[in-house]
Amino acid sequence: MDIRKIDFFKDFIKNVDEAFNTHVEVEWEKIDSILKGKFFVNDTEYKIISEIIIHDFMSFKFKAFINNEFTMNLTNRGSDKLQVIPTIRKSLEFILDDVSPNGVVFGATDESNGRKMIYDRFCTNWIENNKGWDFKSFQKENMKIYILHKTSINNNLILDVIDWIKNNRLNY
């Protein structure tokens, strides 16, 4: 086998792994009970909005500025995802660790099965590495909603959060 091809493949995997595990710094701004984050990958602006919704649970939404508007439809964004995914992961960790709400509600609302798998893995890893946390998820058609919450939260409060989601849909 050609050693140059092997070296090329090793370098390629190393670069992908490095990009996938390197987040972009997010510029955070707090306005009342709303946290707004902004970051750039290549020439695309992304924003994160997280706010208290009910019972000290926070929503978590992010959008990209594409075709002169902010959109949550982020499928087929090419190489951007290699830095967007770890940045979103780091932003969720920041909110869970530093803001410390009772829970965070977020979702994958487009046809991206990859994003749903990433969110499933994030939630599973979070509860494995952080005692006192659990998550629930609900899927209808292309929309999958996640509720990552402290285990000390009363189930009636979680039901209230689910009702809130059904009534407000988090503007998805």
Q: Is residue 12 one of the residues assigned to a domain?
A: no
Q: Is residue 2 one of the residues assigned to a domain?
A: no
The amino acid that residue 154 corresponds to is: N
Q: What is the pTM of this model?
A: 0.80
Q: Is residue 123 one of the residues assigned to a domain?
A: yes
Number of domains in the chain: 1
Instruction: State the residue range of the domain holding 64.
Output: 24-171
Q: Is residue 11 one of the residues assigned to a domain?
A: no
pLDDT confidence of residue 16: 56
pLDDT confidence of residue 12: 60
pLDDT confidence of residue 100: 92
Q: Is residue 38 one of the residues assigned to a domain?
A: yes
Q: Tell me the two tokens of residue 161.
A: 């959060």
pLDDT confidence of residue 4: 77
Q: Is the pLDDT of residue 156 over 80?
A: yes
CA-to-CA distance for 93 and 123, rounded, in angstroms? 11
pLDDT confidence of residue 172: 46
pLDDT confidence of residue 126: 94
The DSSP code for 135 is: E
Q: Is residue 117 one of the residues assigned to a domain?
A: yes
| CATH number of the structural domain spanning residue 122 | 3.40.630
Q: Mean pLDDT over residues 133-148, rounded?
A: 90
Q: Is residue 88 one of the residues assigned to a domain?
A: yes
Q: Mean pLDDT over residues 98-111, rounded?
A: 88
CB 10 within 8 A of CB 27: no
Q: How far is C-alpha 120 from the chain's CA centre? A: 10
pLDDT confidence of residue 117: 87
Q: Is residue 4 one of the residues assigned to a domain?
A: no
- H helices then E strands: how many in the chain? 4, 9
CA-to-CA distance for 56 and 63, rounded, in angstroms? 23
Top-ranked range on mean pLDDT: pick from 12-21, 58-67, 92-101, 163-172: 92-101
pLDDT confidence of residue 18: 58
